[in-house]
Amino acid sequence: MPPRTLFEKVWDAHVVTAPEGQSALLYIDLHLVHEVTSPQAFDGLRTAGRKVRQPLRTVATVDHNIPTTPRGLPITDPIAAKQIEALQKNCREFGVPLFDMDSAEQGIVHIIGPELGITLPGMTIVCGDSHTSTHGAFGSLAFGIGTSEVEHVLATQCLPQTRPKTMRINVSGKLAEGVTAKDLALGIIGRIGTDGATGHVIEYSGEVVRGLSMEGRMTLCNMSIEAGARAGMIAPDETTFAYSRGRRFAPKGKDWEDAVAYWRTLASDPGAKFDRVIEIDAASLAPFVTWGTNPGMVVAVTARVPELKSFALDADRRAAEQALAYMGLNPGTPVEEIAVDRVFIGSCTNSRIEDLRAAARVAKGQHVNPKVRAMVVPGSQAIKHAAEVEGLDRIFLDAGFEWRESGCSMCLGMNPDILQPGERCASTSNRNFEGRQGRGGRTHLVSPMMAAAAAIAGHFTDIRNWRFN
């Protein structure tokens, strides 16, 4: 057998059939479901008189629409309430396990999968959400799908797929202090653009990637979609096995041993060919801040908002001009002079315990600038409780941050956590599109440490110069 990439191995292992002249039919090991993209899919099943083929391979939670204020209060938005009720009704009717709002396991769907040991290496994982790419950190093929495909997977547990191309992004060197997986992700998108990896599955490799914790790898894979990638993958290794071992739904005993033996084969063979290879030197990275209205519009915190004449292509210059107008920024402004109104530490990109520890380290003994409103939203109930045991909540509250219940929160403004028009936010989320966090809201994507620092300073500041207490 010729040498194969990690992607090819996982793909090949899941092909149910590959009919001549048609797309291959892939089996889906795990289908994650949330309240926003599923109602029409379940309705479709109902209309066609179909059942969910594999309820035990389907796991649901509520995350996008729910408030992050204390649980138990009624949901004030009637349409959100209706959507959540629809999910509850659908899961009951079709026998799908649901980690509901009152559950100790509830959280953002891409956080709880790995946390519970449901997400494991070598799987095919789909969800009606583009940041499904997160699970690729385990060496699984994980990608976002639309509602019609959600219905398709519910009905058949399979998905016809055209085979994507492969891209290897090799990161060598060493991440400097203050430069995180989030900055690596932003650096990559800044370099290749928001369509740089369209049609490709990215495999991240190299000593820097090997050195990332599982949480760092999840941040990196999470952002793959922002480069246009179909999915992002990292080969599993001892770090992966140590993370998943013993988790509630991970295999145990002999099943675990057998699983690990198989997972050890999930690496790209020497000599395996990729359609594209990109080399990144960690020395080229810095703490980054987006200035525009897509994640590719990004510079180092020590740099300036770009001049319009620096854009060679006419369409790019016009896009930059429109972005600067929307963001209320002037070309040439040093990023460290940009003041913020709000700070959001949360989202499936950066709301895990290591993210919270990093932000708490910055916040310890400091106080949020009086002009800033800052909130910390842990990615799951489990993370919230772990953070409280470690006293991180106290550090945040003492410093004047709000400490919230888990959910997608201000990443996308579908719930009460929303920016007002013109408000400028330092956010650890994944998208800075116009209106993403609220109509007229101005989003700047950063790492958790950079967000905490901005909350305290009142403006963006280079975390590498921070004086920790």
Partner 1 sequence: MPLDKVNVDTDQIIPKQFLKRIERTGFGEFLFYDWRFSGDGKKIADFVLHAPRYTEASILVAGKNFGCGSSREHAVWALADYGFRVVIASSFADIFSNNSLKNGFLTVRLSDEQVAEITRRAKEIEGYELTVDLEALRVEDGRGFSAPFAMDEFSRHCLLNGLDDIGLTLQHEPDIAAYEAKHPVSAEMTAILAG
* Positions in 279-298 near partner 1 (CB under 8 A): 294
Q: Does 151 bind partner 1 (CB under 8 A)?
A: yes
Q: DSSP per residue over 77-116, as a string?
A: -HHHHHHHHHHHHHHHHHT--EE-TT-TT-B-HHHHHHHT
**Could you tell me how many helices (H) and strands (E) the chain has, helices first?**
15, 19
* Positions in 326-365 near partner 1 (CB under 8 A): none
Binding residue for partner 1 (CB under 8 A) from 4, 155, 176, 333? 155
For partner 1, how many residues bind (rule: CB under 8 A)? 78
Q: How far is the CB of 141 from partner 1 (least distance, A)?
A: 14
Binding residue for partner 1 (CB under 8 A) from 69, 77, 173, 237? 77
Binding residue for partner 1 (CB under 8 A) from 51, 174, 367, 439? 439
Cα distances (angstroms) measured from residue 327 to each of 298, 324, 430, 458: 13, 5, 17, 17
Per-residue binding letters, 188-207, with partner 1 (x by CB under 8 A): ------xx--xx--------
* Positions in 115-134 near partner 1 (CB under 8 A): 117-118, 128-130
Rounded Cα–Cα distance for residues 384 and 404 (Å): 8
Cβ pair 180, 216 in contact under 8 A: yes
Rounded Cα–Cα distance for residues 66 and 102 (Å): 11
Cβ pair 416, 77 in contact under 8 A: yes
* Positions in 362-401 near partner 1 (CB under 8 A): none
Rounded Cα–Cα distance for residues 442 and 199 (Å): 29
Q: Does 321 bind partner 1 (CB under 8 A)?
A: no
Number of neighbouring beta carbons within 10 Å of residue 155: 16
Phi/psi for 346 (5° steps) reads 175, -165
Two tokens, residue 137: 């950190």
Q: How far is the CB of 93 from partner 1 (least distance, A)?
A: 14
Of 243-251, 269-277, 280-288, 298-306, the segment contacting partner 1 by CB under 8 A is: 243-251
Binding residue for partner 1 (CB under 8 A) from 4, 69, 71, 86? 86
Of 204-212, 265-273, 274-282, 314-322, the segment contacting partner 1 by CB under 8 A is: 314-322
* Positions in 42-71 near partner 1 (CB under 8 A): 43, 48, 50, 54-57, 59, 64-65
Cβ pair 274, 5 in contact under 8 A: yes
Q: How far is the CB of 440 from partner 1 (least distance, A)?
A: 7
Rounded Cα–Cα distance for residues 427 and 410 (Å): 9
Two tokens, residue 181: 């997986």
Binding residue for partner 1 (CB under 8 A) from 69, 88, 156, 172? 156
